[in-house]
Amino acid sequence: MARVTLENLTKVFSGDRKQGSKVAVDNVSLEISSGEFVVLVGPSGCGKTTVLRMIAGLEDISGGSIRIGGRRINDIPPKDRDIAMVFQNYALYPHMTVSRNMSFGLEVRGFPKAEIARRVDEAARVLGLLHPDNLLNRRPKALSGGQRQRVALGRAMVREPQVFLFDEPLSNLDAKMRVETRAEISRLHRTVGSTMIFVTHDQTEAMTMADRIVVMSEGRVQQIGTPEDLYHQPVNRFVAGFIGSPTMNFFSGRLEKTQGSLRFVEQGEGSHAEPWAIRMNPELSARLASQADRPIVLGIRPEHLTPDSPQPGALGMMVELVEPMGAETYLFGQTAGHPCTCRITFHETKGLEGQKIHLIPNFDHLHFFNPTSGEEVSGPKIQRIKLPLPVPHKKSRDL
Amino acid sequence: MLLLGFGLWFALPFFWMVSTSLKPLRETMKMPPVWLPIPPQWQNYPEAMAAMGPFWLYAANSLVLASLNVVGTVLSSALVAYGFSRLDWKGRDGLFFVLLMTMMIPFPVVMVPLYGLFRELGWIGTMKPLWVPAFLAGAFNVFLLRQFFMTLPRDLTEAARMDGCSEFRIFWQIILPLARPALLTVALFQFMATWNDFLGPLIFLAREDQYTLALGLQALQSTISGTPWHHLMAASTLVVLPVVFLFFLTQKTFLRGIAATGLK
C-alpha cells in the first residue's frame, strides 16, 4: 500500500535526424492515493503506456518526478521500487513451469523456500490454478490465453508489492475471458488492497474497474475523475467523445438570440433538409449567454434523445440502421447535417429503417463545446440532487 | 524430383570417398571407375590409422580443441551478442557495423600479423593460438546470435527486470535457455570449423604430439611412394564421421535454429 505521486512528469523520445524528438508525455501530474484503482485511458499513442513504464522504471524520466510512498524513485532501479507489472503479452518465461514462473521473482530476491512455496500456493489457489486442473507443472505453451493471464497475475501477486501496474492485460483475451478477468482483477484489488494502476484503450474497462479514470490524449491529461464525473461532466469534447458507448452525438451549429432566450441552430455541410433548431430553456440560456451568436458544438449522448411525435424543436433523424441489443436498441441515422445515434429501450423497432423519426433531447444532459478548442463552455452545472447510495464506496461492499 | 537430384549430386563426393576407402589401391584410379568395390577392403581402415601415426592422440587433440572452441565461442559470442541486441548504449550500432566488417577480411590476410602476435606472446608451438581466440567471440556467430536475440520479446527481459534480475542474470537464466537452438547452431558450426581446420594447426603447432586429425591426414598424402588413396579416403571417412554423427544427433534443433535465425 502506497500513494503514488507524479509531478510534471515528462517524457521526450529523442528521434533520429529525419524525425525530431517527440514529446510522448507532457507535464503529467497525478496523485494516486494508497489502495486506489486508477485507470489510464486514451487512444493508442496518447502516452498512457509510457507513463506506466516510467513508473515501472522501464523508461527513463525526461522531466518531473515520481514518488511512491513519499520516496522519490526517479533514479531507483525497477527491482527496488517494490512494484509488480502485468504485461499485455503476459511475458511468461516460456522455458519455465507455471509455478517456477511465479516463484522466480522471489527466488531472485532470496526469499526462503518455505515462504516462496506458501505464497505460490496461495496465489495458485486464489486464481484457480489448482482446480479443476492443476496447472502448476505445465509450461505456458500448454495454457489458454486466460490461464496465462492468470499466471501473470499470480506472478505479480506473490511479490506482494506496494503497487501493481497493468499494461493492457486484457486486450489479448476473447470477449468472454475479458469480462471474467476484469472481474478477477477487481476482486484481486479488493482482496489485497494494493494501489493499482491500469492502462487500457478500452473505455468500458476503464468505466467498470476504476475508482478514478485519467483520460489522456497526445501526452496530456485531459480529465481526471470518477467514472460518473467523466460520463456526466466531461470537460472537453475529447473526453465527451471518448467515454461512453455508443459515442456522444455532436452537432455543430450556432446559438442565436431570439426573444430573450437562446436558440440552437444546426449547421451541417451540404444539407438539403431543414436544419434543426431548438429553443434552450431559461437555465441553459442564462449559462450560455456569453456564447450567443457564436459557433458552437452541441453534444448529446444517444440515451438522452427520446423519440416523440413531430413538434417544434424535435430533431428529425432518418433511421439507416437498427441494432437490437436485447434490453435496448441502437438506432443509427442522419439528421439534416450530422450522423446521429439514438439509444432506446422500447421494442417496437420493426420497420424503422428508412423512416424519419423525431427526437426530443433531455435538457439536463446537454453539453456545449467550443468548436476550436473543444472546451466545455456551458459553465458550472447547477448541482443536481444526487440519489443517496446505500454505501458510499464500492470498495466497502462485501464480496 | 529436382531436390532429390541435387541431393544425390551433393552426396556423390561423400559416396566416392567411402567407396574409395574400401578399394584396393590399384582400383582407386581405374577407368572406368569402380563404384562398388567387391569385396570391400575393410583392412584399409586399421592400415590407414597405423599409417597416420598416433591416430588416437590426434583424435584426442582434435576433440580437446573442438570442445574448448565450442565452449569459448558459444559463451563469448552470446555475451557479446547480448550486448549488441538487448542493451542500449551509445555507438552500439556503429561498433556492430565495424564488427561485421571484420567478417570481410579473409584469413590469409591476417595470417602473418597473427603469427607475429602469437610469437610475441610466446604461444607458437603451443595449442593456445588455436583455442584462446575462441573466447573472444567471432563476428559471424555474434551476428547470428544477435539476430536471434532480437526476435525474443522485449517484454520477457522487462518482466525479468521487474522480478529483480540483474542484467547478467537475465542473460543467463532467461535469454540463454530460450536461445538454445541458435546456440546449438553456433556450437555445431564451431565444432565443424575447428575439427576441419587444417591451416591453423599447420601454422601454429610444432610438435607432432600436438597434431590434430586434420593435420594428421597430411601424413598420408605425402608419402614417398605417392598417395595411398585408399588409405587417405579411409582416414578421411573416419575423420568426418564424428561431424556426420553430431549433425544427425542435433539435426532437429539445428535446422530449427537456422530457420529461426534466417526467417524471423
3-state DSSP assignment of residue B21: helix
Calculate how close chain B gets to A91, using CA atoms only, in Å: 5
User: How high is the pLDDT of residue A336?
Assistant: 81
Which residues in chain A touch residue B169, judged by CB atoms under 8 angstroms apart? 108
Q: What are phi and psi of A352, to 5 degrees?
A: -75, -30
Question: Looking at the predicted structure, is the pLDDT value of residue B75 above 70?
Answer: yes
Q: pLDDT > 90: what percent of chain B?
A: 13
DSSP string covering A115-145: HHHHHHHHHHHHTTSSSSS--TTS-GGGS-H
Residue of B nearest to A156 (CA): B163
Integer Cα distance of A385 and A177 in angstroms: 38
Same fold, A4-241 and A247-369: no
Bridge partners of residue A71, in order along the sequence:
A68
Q: Is the Cβ–Cβ distance between B65 and B212 less than 8 Å?
A: yes
Q: What are phi and psi of A370, to 5 degrees?
A: -70, 130
Q: Is the Cβ–Cβ distance between A307 and A352 less than 8 Å?
A: no
Q: Name the interface residues of B facing A (CB cutoff 8 Å).
A: 153, 155-156, 158-165, 169, 174, 177-178
Q: What are phi and psi of A72, to 5 degrees?
A: -75, 125
Q: Is the Cβ–Cβ distance between A124 and A180 less than 8 Å?
A: no
Q: Is the Cβ–Cβ distance between A196 and A31 less than 8 Å?
A: no
User: How high is the pLDDT of residue B199?
Assistant: 85
pLDDT, tens only, A113-146: 999 999 999 999 888 888 778 889 999 988 888 8
User: How high is the pLDDT of residue A367?
Assistant: 92
In a domain, B22, yes or no: no
Write the single-letter amino acid at A231: Y
Q: What are phi and psi of A64, to 5 degrees?
A: 85, -170
Angle subtended at Cα A130 by Cα A127 and Cα A134, rounded to the nearest 5 degrees:
135
User: How high is the pLDDT of residue A398?
Assistant: 41
Calculate how close chain B gets to A95, using CA atoms only, in Å: 7
Helix (H) or strand (E) holding A197: strand A195-200
Assigned C-alpha cell, A150: 492468470
User: How high is the pLDDT of residue A131?
Assistant: 77
In a domain, B9, yes or no: no
In a domain, B110, yes or no: yes
Measured CA distances, A297 to A174, A232, A347, A365, B72 (Å): 37, 17, 31, 14, 70
Residue of A nearest to B170 (CA): A108
In a domain, B227, yes or no: yes
Task: Say which CATH number the domain at B227 has.
Answer: 1.10.3720.10
Query: For chain A, what are the domain ranges?
Result: 4-241, 247-369
Asked whether the ipTM of the predicted complex exceeds the cut of 0.90, the reply is no
Question: Per the CB < 8 Å rule, is B155 touching A88?
Answer: yes
3-state DSSP assignment of residue A279: strand
Question: Looking at the predicted structure, is the pLDDT value of residue A384 above 50?
Answer: no
Q: pLDDT > 90: what percent of chain A?
A: 48
Which residues in chain B touch residue A58, judged by CB atoms under 8 angstroms apart? 158, 161-162
Which residues in chain A touch residue B161, judged by CB atoms under 8 angstroms apart? 57-58, 78-79
Q: Is the Cβ–Cβ distance between A365 and A377 less than 8 Å?
A: no
Integer Cα distance of A289 and B190 in angstroms: 83
Nearest to B153 among A57, A79, A91 (CB): A91
In a domain, B31, yes or no: no
SS3 content of chain B, % helix, strand, coil (to 5): 75, 0, 25
Spatial CA neighbour of B67 closest among B152, B127, B115: B127
Calculate how close chain B gets to A80, using CA atoms only, in Å: 8
Which residues in chain A touch residue B156, judged by CB atoms under 8 angstroms apart? 91, 93
Integer Cα distance of A155 and A225 in angstroms: 30
Q: How many domains does chain B have?
A: 1
* Mean per-residue pLDDT over chain B, rounded: 84
Integer Cα distance of A46 and A26 in angstroms: 10
Q: Which of A89-93, B216-220, B237-241 is least confident?
A: B216-220
Q: Name the interface residues of A facing B (CB cutoff 8 Å).
A: 56-58, 78-79, 83-85, 87-95, 104-105, 108-109, 155, 159
Most confident residue range from B220-224, B246-250, B254-258: B246-250
Nearest to A84 among B156, B162, B178 (CB): B162
Q: pLDDT > 70: what percent of chain A?
A: 91
End-to-end CA distance of chain B: 29
Angle subtended at Cα A220 by Cα A217 and Cα A223, rounded to the nearest 5 degrees:
80
Question: Per the CB < 8 Å rule, is A79 touching B177?
Answer: no
Calculate how close chain B gets to A197, using CA atoms only, in Å: 15
In a domain, B34, yes or no: no
Sequence-distant (≥ 6) Cβ neighbours of residue A217 within 8 angstroms: A42, A43, A46, A238, A242
pLDDT, tens only, A328-357: 889 999 888 889 999 988 767 777 888 889
Residue of A103, A108, A119, A164 for testing the chain B interface, max B β-carbons within 10 Å: A108
pLDDT, tens only, B12-61: 888 888 888 888 877 777 777 777 777 888 888 888 887 777 888 888 88
Q: Cell match 463552455: residue?
A: A377
Q: How many CB atoms lie within 10 A of CB B230?
A: 24
Assigned C-alpha cell, B245: 554423427
Helix segments in chain A, DSSP class H: 48-56, 98-108, 113-126, 145-158, 175-192, 203-209, 227-232, 237-242, 282-287
A·B CB contacts under 8 A: 51
DSSP string covering A77-91: -GGGS-EEEE-TT--
Which residues in chain B touch residue A88, judged by CB atoms under 8 angstroms apart? 155
Question: Per the CB < 8 Å rule, is A105 touching B162?
Answer: yes
pLDDT, tens only, A12-71: 988 666 667 888 999 999 999 999 999 999 998 899 999 999 999 999 999 999 999 889
Question: What is the extent of the structural domain holding B243?
Answer: 41-261
Question: Per the CB < 8 Å rule, is A108 touching B169?
Answer: yes
Residue of A nearest to B164 (CA): A79
User: How high is the pLDDT of residue A395?
Assistant: 46
Bridge partners of residue A83, in order along the sequence:
A163
Beta-sheet strand order (sheet of A37-41):
A83-86, A163-167, A195-200, A37-41, A212-217, A220-225
Bridge partners of residue A250, in order along the sequence:
A299
Helix (H) or strand (E) holding A4: strand A4-13
Task: Specify the pTM.
Answer: 0.80
Q: Is the Cβ–Cβ distance between A336 and A275 less than 8 Å?
A: yes
User: How high is the pLDDT of residue A270?
Assistant: 58
Q: Cell match 557479446: residue?
A: B80
Sequence-distant (≥ 6) Cβ neighbours of residue A221 within 8 angstroms: A28, A29, A30, A214, A215
User: How high is the pLDDT of residue A397?
Assistant: 42
Q: Is the Cβ–Cβ distance between A319 and A289 less than 8 Å?
A: no
pLDDT, tens only, A285-327: 888 888 888 899 999 999 999 988 888 888 889 999 998 888 8
Residue of B154, B156, B162, B166 for testing the chain A interface, max A β-carbons within 10 Å: B162
In a domain, B36, yes or no: no
Sequence-distant (≥ 6) Cβ neighbours of residue B16 within 8 angstroms: none
CATH number for the segment(s) A4-241? 3.40.50.300
User: How high is the pLDDT of residue A378?
Assistant: 80
The packing angle between helices B213-221 and B44-51, to 10°, is: 100
Q: pLDDT > 70: what percent of chain B?
A: 94
Can you name the CATH fold of A247-369?
A: OB fold (Dihydrolipoamide Acetyltransferase, E2P) (2.40.50)
User: How high is the pLDDT of residue A195?
Assistant: 94
Residue of B nearest to A106 (CA): B163
